[in-house]
Amino acid sequence: MPRAYVKRRGAEKPSSGTNLAIIYPGDWMSDDSLFDHVEPPFEPLPEEEESLLPESEEEEQDSHQPFRIWSSIQSIVVTAFLLASLFTLFTPNNLFSGEMFDRIFQAWQANPRISAPVQVNTPATPALPIGIVSGHYKNDSGALCPDGLTEEQVNLKIASLVQQKLMAEGYTVDLLEEFDDRLSQYKALALVSIHADTCDFISNEATGFKVAAAIHSVYPDKATRLTLCMADRYAQTTGLTYHPNAASEDMTYYHAFDEIHSTTTAVIIETGFLNLDRQSLTENADLVAQGIVNGLLCFIRNENVTLVQPTPVP
């Protein structure tokens, strides 16, 4: 539906008799079927009828003219009243967005007999921030390396870069401490908590990253989607290996998952091992941050995810 068209008509809210003639529904929304099931409120024009009628019936038609005019005026008034009521249902924001009209229109097309559900607030309100928890920030050091490098430092550098990059994309971004007061009932487009794995050498396998969502997520589909987006984009961007089934209990029972609002989709990422992936995490922090940004944008912008989870061998 042409947006400008709706906007213009919305501005011409009918208020007096002289304006009534311009709000005939067929004219108001001539390009869609929004009112297709509604009987046109006007009787057909007499001139059009005359040519179709036999001569003998013309006089009888003429004798009904006063009644037909009065009936037309009544129809105009009723239509105007209905349209005026319709306009008052909508606030200027949702009217001019065109979004609600599109929804109504789509619902009507799908089933003209039922009324369209009108949802004023969409779940993904653009005003919501993105939450970035910098792991261990202002709480403890996290993993420690022999030379004094701490996980907290590594996380903070990456988290700050993620914040800058997302703000450059036009988003509001909260950089949060590990136990930030704002986490309580926190509402966000998405939340990601950034951590890194141990600095101890475990084995040559101890390289790569992990992503986990809350084990008891209110919206498991959204949590799965954010997990897949993060795993796919982070792997593509950084070249680090994904450990799909390596999420620890610490990750799936992560404290922030229980604090934030139930509508906020959240994941925790272990960006890599401070031992074998140290170079990636410290010297290529910008690339690591970009991987997280790409994962978040994939989720928020509803991009396709093609990550194929390895299927267990029977």
CB neighbour class for 265 (10 Å; exposed up to 12, middle 13-18, buried from 19): buried
| Nearest position to Zn ion, beta carbon | 195
Q: Which residues bind Zn ion (CB under 5 A)?
A: 135, 142, 195
| Smallest separation, CB 182 to Zn ion (Å) | 19
For Zn ion, which is the closer residue by CB, 134 or 217?
134
| Smallest separation, CB 156 to Zn ion (Å) | 12
Take residue 119 and report the two structure tokens written for it: 């949802």
Take residue 115 and report the two structure tokens written for it: 């009324």
- Bridge partners of 192, per DSSP, are 132, 267
Cβ proximity of 239 and 209 under 8 Å: no
Whole-angstrom distance, CA of residue 14 vs CA of residue 16: 6
Among residues 212, 211, 205, 210, which one has the least CA distance to residue 275?
205
Spatial CB neighbours of 260, under 8 Å, sequence gap ≥ 6: 131, 183, 184, 185, 186, 187, 188, 191, 266
| Smallest separation, CB 195 to Zn ion (Å) | 3
For Zn ion, which is the closer residue by CB, 193 or 294?
193
| Smallest separation, CB 141 to Zn ion (Å) | 9
| Smallest separation, CB 209 to Zn ion (Å) | 13
Among residues 161, 305, 169, which one has the least CA distance to residue 229?
305
Phi then psi for residue 133, to 5 deg, are: -90, 120
Phi then psi for residue 47, to 5 deg, are: -60, -40
Spatial CB neighbours of 194, under 8 Å, sequence gap ≥ 6: 132, 133, 134, 135, 155, 158, 159, 162, 269, 271, 292
| Smallest separation, CB 165 to Zn ion (Å) | 21
| Smallest separation, CB 268 to Zn ion (Å) | 9
Cβ proximity of 186 and 131 under 8 Å: yes
For Zn ion, which is the closer residue by CB, 129 or 135?
135
For Zn ion, which is the closer residue by CB, 94 or 134?
134
